[in-house]
Every structure is written in C-alpha cells, then in structure tokens.
Amino acid sequence: MTRMRAVDAVALILEKEGAAETFGLPGAAINPLYSAMKAHGGIRHTLARHVEGASHMADGYTRSAPGNIGVCIGTSGPAGTDMITGLYAAQADSQPILCITGQAPVAVLDKEDFQAVDIAAVAAPLTKMAKTVLEAGQVPGTFQKAFQLMRSSRPGPVLIDLPLDVQLTEIDFDIDTYEPLPVGKPEATDAQAEKILDMIAAAEHPIIVAGGGILNAAAEDALVEFAELLDIPVSPTLMGWGAIPDDHRLMSGMVGIQTHTRYGNASFLESDLVIGIGNRWANRHTGDLEVYRRGRRFIHIDIEPTQIGRVFAPDYSVVSDAGAALQALLRVARRRRADSGLPDFSAWADACEQRKGTLHRKTSFTDKPIKPQRVYQEMNSVFGKDVTYVTTIGLSQIAGAQMLHVYRPRHWINAGQAGPLGWTGPAAIGVARAKPDETVVALSGDYDFQFMIEELAVGAQHRIPYLHVVVNNSYLGLIRQSQRGFEMDYEVSLAFENINSTGEAAGYGVDHVAVAEGLGCKALRVEDPEQIADGLRQGLDLMREHQVPVVVEVILERVTNIAMGKAIDSIEEFEALAQTAGEAPTALTPLAAPAQTPEVERELEEVR
C-alpha cells in the first residue's frame, strides 16, 4: 500500500480504467485533482472555454469508438450546473461520460458557502450515479463503482463531486492490485431466439429496425451477418445509422417523420413484422403510432427492461444486450438453415432495393441564393465514404439525415434525443481528439453554430483539426417552419445589417468568417452553388495544412422548408422530387410539381 492524496488515487484509477482523455477547466475547488494529473503525467487534458462545451467534448469523444469514456472536469458551483446539459445529452443517448466537480469543504456544505451547490442532487435525474464523496477513504471505491455503472446494462453518465478537503486527505491505496469491477449485461437465450425466428418465419415482409444499442454493443458485423443470412432489410434509426452501410443491398432506408428517406418510409409501410434491436421507438421515428403500428407485429430487444412497453407494448420482447441477442439469433438461424432451411425473403428484399433506387428527393438545384439540398449533394461527393459527420439539431441536421450517406459505424455522431443547440462544435472537437487521423466534418445551421462558438479557440489552441460546414439562412429554421401552423414568423430571424460586413452576407447578420478567424481558425464563404465543392475541398486543404478547425459557410436562401410530417404515410414535400437514384447528380429530373407550395411562396414574399 502507498500513502497518497485521494486525488492522486483518482489520477491512477482514471488511467487504469482507460479514461485518460479529459476536457475541462481548472478552478480553486478542483485544483488538487489538476495537480495530481500534472504530477502523474498519464492523462491528457484539453482546456475548454466553457464547462458545457467540455461536457460535449467528452460526449463526442465517448461516441467515437467502442469503450471510450470521456471525462469532463470542473470546479465547484456553476461548473457543475454548466455540465447538466452535457449530462442530459449523454444520458438520453445512453453514452457513458464521467463528470468530476470540485466542491467546498465538507464542513461548510450546509452553510451556503461560496459556490457550494448540491450538484449531486441537481444531477441525479440525469445520471446513473451522482455522489458527493464525504470520506476520502471512499474515493477509490466510488470511482470503481462509477466505471462499472457506466459500462453495465444501458450505458450512461456519472457525476462525482469531490469536496476540497476530501481531495487533499491522504489515504492508503495500491493501484497495482486495483481491478475494474465486472460489467453485467443481460443476454438473450436460444429459446428466446427460437421464438423470434418462429415469428420471422410466419411473416412475409419482415424488417429490422437497428438502433444505437447495436453500436454500443459493437455488434454491427453480427447485424449485417444476420440480415444477410435471412435476406431481411434493415432500417437504421438516427442513432443506429452506419450499423449497415448505406450502399448495402439490404439497407432499406431510415424511417421517421423528420430524419428519414422516402424509400425508407415506403418500405416500412409495406412490412408486416418489425424486429427492433437496441432502439427506443422515439417519437421522431414513429410519428403517429396508429399509422406506425397498423398492420404489423413488433418484436423489441433492448438492454434496459424499462424500455420495453414504454411507448407501446410489443408482441414479443427480450431484455438483452444487442450483441448477445444477435449472437443467439445467429446460432439458432444457422442451426435451422442446416436442419430445415430458412424462409425465402429475397423477393421482399428485392422490392425494398427497388424502392431505394427510385424514391429520392432532388438535390441538384442551381438556384442562387443556394438551396440547402445542393449542399448535401456536394458533401456526399467531396467527402466520400470515410468521413465522420457530427451534428445535433435543426433543419440542417434533418436535411442532412435525409440526404447524406453514412457507410461506417460511428461515422454519424448525433445528439439525438436531447438535441442541444451548440453541441456540434465542441462534440466535433471531442471526436477529432478520438480520431486524429480521420476526416471529421461538423454540420450546423447558423444558430447552432453561434451557440458555443468560442470553443473554436480550443481547436486552434490545441491544434485539433476538423471541418465545420455552416449552412446559413440567418434563421431559426426549424422553429420558423413549425411556426407555420400558427401563421406567424415571430422572433426567429437572425438577420440584420452588419455594419462591419460587405456583400450579400452583410444582411445576414453575424460575420461567421470574421469570428472564426478571430478565434484562430481558418474560414471561407460560398455564395454560388457551383463553388460549393471547391469550397469544401479548399476547406479540407486548409485544415490539413494548418491543423486547426476550418469553417466553410454556405449562404442559403432565407426560406426553405424541409420535408416532414406528423405520420410516416403523410410526409409533406416542399420541393421537386427526383425520379430515380440512377440519374447523374446534376441531371436529376424533377417531377411535374411546383418547386414551392403556395405556403412557402407566401413566406418568401414576407422575407422579401
């Protein structure tokens, strides 16, 4: 045993648990932990500009690879409250991040001391554990339990609050004999897999809904193998996108009322059995439940028992880790193939593939100001298959999910359920930290970008390169579109005449290029649709040359409504549609429909 301060034990535990990537801001109440990290030397720290930004960096780092746990560190009081949005985003999407806060000394915790807030009570609803450690001897065990909880069952975040005197108290600790606690996850049985295979055999048009739990379990290969073995189409959720490549013949398209493809919704509506694996039946996925459920049976496999039946009662359910369930399904399916054969769903799979080849939206617009659809067409072309996208919320994210393509697991990194504005930029820094040799591209609307824009300086200071595509219509675009139901356009415009800017962008308000450059990054602006691809390539070149974040701002038309609706069978389209996917991107033929609905024309007139 070695005598050491409690914080010295924390530094050793972080490294042994494999959580040596930290993001945060020092302060008086957490300085002892920083002194321990500095003395230990095995932990890398990225200095953020805002503690919420640090929490999103930790979240982005976690989401980048199986087994990652990002750590966010801050001082007492507002540092902890600033972490709450980050904890919410991580908890909502089942992501294990560890938040560590400093705290006032134990003796003054009930005396309204400076920056002494009961952060454990504040964070408790958003974590798997939130604890203020009052005895230094409990510090190692608390961290040991935290890592076990973060990794067990449904993953999630933890907050540990360390009073100043607890941090400094000496304890006896032996890191050489410290071992991480075993991680427990429920596993499907072969009997349960037999039942599922019986239900699949009785169906004509089965479809797999692949959720984020598959990525959490690193079970993408098992998913694809199972789908190929039975010839069952796969529809990933927004959080499961990338579990099967977009160009795989069994990838049938995303389903939803916002983030979806036309062919994905069309194929789902033809299904008669839905096998949900590691998904939540989120409302933006299902839309109107009567429409979503009509005419089909449901199987739900999820690691968290309380998720079963939360939105609707399935016809059959299994509580299991997604990877363990897929392994059981594969074992049973292989036995059946050898003994009596498997059902033939090839005609159904072919029909879904045919829809995927025809039901597309037009992207090849040449209008100026630029229509956003053209931006995503050029992003697909320039960035290719190996890019990692990072985004969170807004019309930019919805349109991106409708029109971009993802080919690898964890190459679409999205704050799904919480969708906090400002998450994109700092999360991209965390992703780029985790993937230093890969191309990381963030996607934001102008409002998301302006939230936490100061974190660009973190990328500049620490030489963390990524490309940030900002589609700028100077609007709270998603909120403006939802205000159509109230026949108003109220407090959602960000436009003003910027006295320091020139050209068309001057009327769009904030000069994002000037701000980004002022924060130590490179930036450029595109206003012509024919120059988008060159602008993206130039941005990549600048990123690689200078090893800093690079902003490519694309000036859009002020009003473009993106296809969405209340039910998956009644999505409202606002723009012309492509007839097939096989036509060249610049020669997609629109259907005989007006480019704008009368409602959009009225909105455009109001803007003019």
Is residue 605 domain-resident? no
Q: What is the pLDDT of residue 560?
A: 87
Q: Residue range 176-193: average pLDDT?
A: 96
DSSP 387: -
Q: Are residues 117 and 160 both part of a single domain?
A: yes
Q: Residue range 595-605: average pLDDT?
A: 47
Q: Are residues 80 and 164 both part of a single domain?
A: yes
DSSP 262: H
Tell me: pLDDT of 507 over 90: no
Neighbours of 364 (CB within 10 A): 19
Q: How far is CA 535 from the centre of its chain?
A: 26
pLDDT in tens, 256-269: 999 999 999 999 99
Alpha-carbon distance 439 to 436, whole Å?
A: 8
Q: What is the pLDDT of residue 587?
A: 28
Identify the weakest region by mean pLDDT among 138-142, 199-203, 328-332, 356-360. Answer: 356-360
Is residue 272 domain-resident? yes
Q: Are residues 166 and 270 both part of a single domain?
A: no
Q: Are residues 351 and 369 both part of a single domain?
A: no
Report percent pLDDT > 70 for the chain: 95
Q: What is the pLDDT of residue 461?
A: 97
Tell me: pLDDT of 593 over 50: no
Q: Which of 156, 177, 198 is the last residue of a domain?
A: 177
Q: Are residues 395 and 323 both part of a single domain?
A: no
pLDDT in tens, 225-258: 999 999 999 999 999 999 999 999 999 999 999 9
Q: Are residues 139 and 119 both part of a single domain?
A: yes
Q: Are residues 347 and 216 both part of a single domain?
A: yes
Tell me: pLDDT of 535 over 60: yes
Q: What is the pLDDT of residue 600?
A: 45
Helix (H, G, I), strand (E, B) or coil at 453: helix
CATH of the domain at 487: 3.40.50.970
Q: What is the pLDDT of residue 580?
A: 53
Q: Residue range 483-491: average pLDDT?
A: 83
pLDDT in tens, 352-385: 999 998 889 999 999 999 999 999 999 999 999 9
Tell me: pLDDT of 590 over 80: no
To which H or E segment does residue 537 belong?
helix 532-546
Q: What is the pTM of this model?
A: 0.92
Is residue 589 domain-resident? no
Is residue 573 domain-resident? no
Give Cβ neighbours of residue 302 (< 8 Å, ≥ 6 apart).
211, 213, 276, 278, 279, 280, 308, 317, 319, 320
CATH of the domain at 221: 3.40.50.1220
Greater confidence (425 vs 581) lies with 425
Q: Are residues 352 and 368 both part of a single domain?
A: no
In contact, 203 and 273? CB cutoff 8 Å: yes
Q: Which of 326, 356, 386 is the last residue of a domain?
A: 356
Q: Which residues span the domain enclosing 142?
A: 2-177
Q: Are residues 239 and 317 both part of a single domain?
A: yes
Tell me: pLDDT of 423 over 80: yes
Q: Residue range 108-122: average pLDDT?
A: 87
Q: Are residues 19 and 36 both part of a single domain?
A: yes
Is residue 392 domain-resident? yes
Average pLDDT of the residues of the chain:
92
Q: Which of 142, 177, 212 is the last residue of a domain?
A: 177
Q: Residue range 209-224: average pLDDT?
A: 97
Is residue 182 domain-resident? no
Is residue 586 domain-resident? no
Exposure string of 567-598, with b = 16+ CB inside 10 Å and e = fewer, is: ebbebebbbbbbeeeeeeeeebebeeeeebee
Q: Are residues 56 and 125 both part of a single domain?
A: yes
Q: What is the pLDDT of residue 118?
A: 94
Q: What is the pLDDT of residue 495?
A: 84
Alpha-carbon distance 108 to 106, whole Å?
A: 6
Which of 140, 128, 144 has the alpha carbon at shortest distance from 166?
140
Alpha-carbon distance 429 to 453, whole Å?
A: 12
Q: Residue range 126-131: average pLDDT?
A: 98
Domain count, the chain: 3
Q: Are residues 308 and 367 both part of a single domain?
A: no
